[in-house]
Every structure is written in C-alpha cells, then in structure tokens.
Amino acid sequence: MTDVAVVGFAQARSERHSPATTNGVEMLVPIFHEVFGATGLTKADVDFWCSGSSDYLAGRAFSFVSAVDAIGAFPPVMESHVEMDGAWALYEAWLKVLTGEAEIALAYGFGKSSAGTLRRVLALQLDPYLVAPLWPDSVSIAALQARLGIEAGLWSEQDMAEVAVRSRSSAITNAHAQLSGSTSAAELLCEPYIADPLRAHDCAPVSDGAAVVILATGSRASELCARPAWITGFEHRIDSASLGARDLTTAPSAVAAGAAAGAGRAQVAELHAPFTHQEIILRRALGLDAGNDRSGDGARINPSGGALCGNPMFAAGLARIGSAAAEIMSGRADVALGHATSGPALQQNLVCVMEAP
C-alpha cells in the first residue's frame, strides 16, 4: 500500500461566537494561508480537496458549496464533501492518494456551532420517527451514558472532574483553545449540575472553528516536512443507533477501529471526547491506559487540551488528527493517535495512527 503522511496542519482558534458566516470561508482562508505557508505549497499543488461540515449546523442547505469559495476553485478542482467531521474527509482524501489519483490532498472541516442551540440541533440526529420527536438533547443523552458508567462502578464524578482539570491545564499552552487554566477537582465538584451527573466542566464548550490537514505521498512528504507523520492505521466503524440496544458504557466501534489501526502502540493520543466520561470510555476502548492491554506507561492524552477546551463541530475530530500529527512533526512523539467521533453517545468512531519516519 502507498505510504501516505500528514505534512501540514492548521486550525482556527475555537471561539464561542465567531463573527464568521456559517459557510466557514472567513475561518478557512486564514488557515489555508497558514498551512500553505508552512509547507510551501499553493492551491495549484493540491490534487484533491475534501471537506466535512453540516447543513443542519449552518441552518441552511448546501453550506459547503459556499465554503468552496475559500479555495478559489477556478480552474476547477477535484473535490468532494462528507456530511461528517473533517476527519472523515481526511479519510476520503487518504483513499484518493492510495488510488494514485492524488499525490497531495487537503482535507478541511468547519462548523459554526453558535448559529443555533447546539444541544437541540444535535437531537435531530436521532431516529426521526421514534426518538427525535421526544427532543432528547445531546447533553442529556451524554448524561444518561455518564450515569450508567457511574452506577456500574466504571468511573466516578471525581474521575470525570480530573479529566477536566488535566485538559484545562494542558490547554494553557494551546493558543487555539477556548478554555484553559489551573483548577482542581475539588473546586470543580462544588459547581452545580447542568444535566445530572454532568457539570459544566464535563461538557465541551460550544465552539466555532475550522481545521485543515494536508496529506502527501511518500515521494513528496519528505520534501514538504522534516518529520512527516506517516499513517500506519486509518480505520472507522459505526455502532447501532438504538441507544437501548447497545452498552453505552463502552464504544464497540472505537474498540474495533482501534484494534484494526494499531491504537495500543500510541505514545500520545488526541481523543475527540466532548464529555469527560467519554474520554475515559475511549482511553479504555483504545487500550491507552497503563496496565490494561499495554506494557509500560499509558499514552499521554490530549496534550492540546482536547475537545473539552474547544469543540468546533465538524472540525474538532480533524483537529485531533492534526494535533496528534503535530506531536510527531515536532519530535515530541514517535507514534501518535488521532481520534474523531460522531453521533450521539460515541456512536461512530475513527482512529488514525501515525508514526515518525
């Protein structure tokens, strides 16, 4: 199989209210400029473009059509779009490179979550006949999942708060983060519930943002980047949509994708966990904790602060892969994992494992 590597990554700062329009152009143009500047590429070098976004988030049909204006797509470009997080756009871009139709491929994702009431918008992802009419919002569904795990003794509110403390602390050095700072679990646990057992710190902030990742084939990657992040495993799976038909305290699709991609070897992992307890589920599903299925230390988790410190819908998963790749490109790690999720209660999961040359 063709060698493919991540050679470039840029992201917009996560913001609670971006002045950008819902088509993402104002958030995308600066980060395209940044990633082209870093790699020395121009738009003419990109053989295939793929984006991830959601019309429902934008509250309009065809929001991605206007996003194409950020490319300057004339002469016309080879381009595609997924109604998914940009991480899956990266997957489609990876396929195009593997087929030999592209040597350089660019994936981007964007989302203006502030355009609506996110937790209610996401309720429209549910079964439209039997579940969505009840309007169970995304935070309430996550709360049910957290409660199941607490009652099964799999984690505690203390464990969850510690995830938030570590994430915010890590984000202090991340200029793109929306939330960061030093705090303690004891302090956070004094805060009120917003959806029992979830407190504000357990939930990712509502974020506007965008991210871009560039892929290159073996022959080009080393020219473009001193330490490309070579993709050695790229897998995704989906679980049942029926919330009552699966064990919500784990994520079988993450387990399967992680096993197929070789997740257990990662030294560092950027996990797309919009809720604190979901990070715990994912660490276990992917075998990242010390002692479980791995010898030696556990993987470093979310050195960027993760989605709990900035969760631009449809870009946050791609940003996790980009942030994991940055760990390799900077020399901080030799094996890194980027993860993306989609759907209620971790229904769909993607794992991208990357390694140093």
Closest distance between other proteins and the C-beta of residue 125, in Å? 5
> Closer to other proteins at the Cβ: 54 or 180?
54
Q: Return the bridge partners of 108, or none.
A: 51, 212
Q: At what angle do helices 86-99 and 316-329 cross, to 10 degrees?
A: 60
Closest distance between other proteins and the C-beta of residue 167, in Å? 26
Report d(CA 221, CA 30) in Å as an integer: 23
Q: Where are the beta strands (DSSP E) in 183-334?
A: 193-195, 198-199, 208-217, 229-238, 268-270, 300-301
Closest distance between other proteins and the C-beta of residue 187, in Å? 36
> Closer to other proteins at the Cβ: 49 or 110?
49
- 162-192 b/e (C-beta count within 10 Å ≥ 16 → b): bbbbbbbebbeebebbbbbeeeebeebeeee
> Closer to other proteins at the Cβ: 58 or 210?
58
Report d(CA 88, CA 52) in Å as an integer: 7
> Closer to other proteins at the Cβ: 154 or 260?
260
> Closer to other proteins at the Cβ: 126 or 188?
126
Closest distance between other proteins and the C-beta of residue 205, in Å? 20
Closest distance between other proteins and the C-beta of residue 355, in Å? 19
Distances, alpha carbon 125 to alpha carbons 108, 121, 141, 334, in Å:
22, 8, 12, 37
Distances, alpha carbon 60 to alpha carbons 21, 53, 116, 132, 312, in Å:
12, 12, 11, 19, 18
> Closer to other proteins at the Cβ: 97 or 203?
97
Closest distance between other proteins and the C-beta of residue 340, in Å? 13
Closest distance between other proteins and the C-beta of residue 304, in Å? 25
Closest distance between other proteins and the C-beta of residue 268, in Å? 25
> What is the DSSP code (8-state) at residue 335?
E
> Closer to other proteins at the Cβ: 76 or 153?
76
Own/partner pairs, 30-37, CB within 8 angstroms, 24+ separation:
31/108, 31/210, 31/211, 31/212, 32/70, 32/71, 32/108, 32/212, 34/10, 35/8, 35/9, 35/10, 35/106, 35/212, 35/214
> Closer to other proteins at the Cβ: 54 or 207?
54
> Closer to other proteins at the Cβ: 218 or 298?
218
Report d(CA 343, CA 127) in Å as an integer: 11
Report d(CA 32, CA 70) in Å as an integer: 8
Closest distance between other proteins and the C-beta of residue 250, in Å? 13
Closest distance between other proteins and the C-beta of residue 240, in Å? 5
Q: Which amino acid is at 305?
A: G
Provide CB contacts within 8 A for 245, sequence distance 6+: none
Question: What is the binding site for other proteins (CB under 8 A)?
Answer: 1-2, 21-23, 49, 54-56, 58-66, 68-69, 72-84, 88, 91-92, 94-96, 98-101, 121-122, 124-129, 132, 235-242, 245, 252-253, 256, 342-344, 347-348
Q: Which amino acid is at 198?
A: L
> Closer to other proteins at the Cβ: 127 or 223?
127
- The answer to whether the beta carbons of residues 242 and 129 sit under 8 Å apart is no
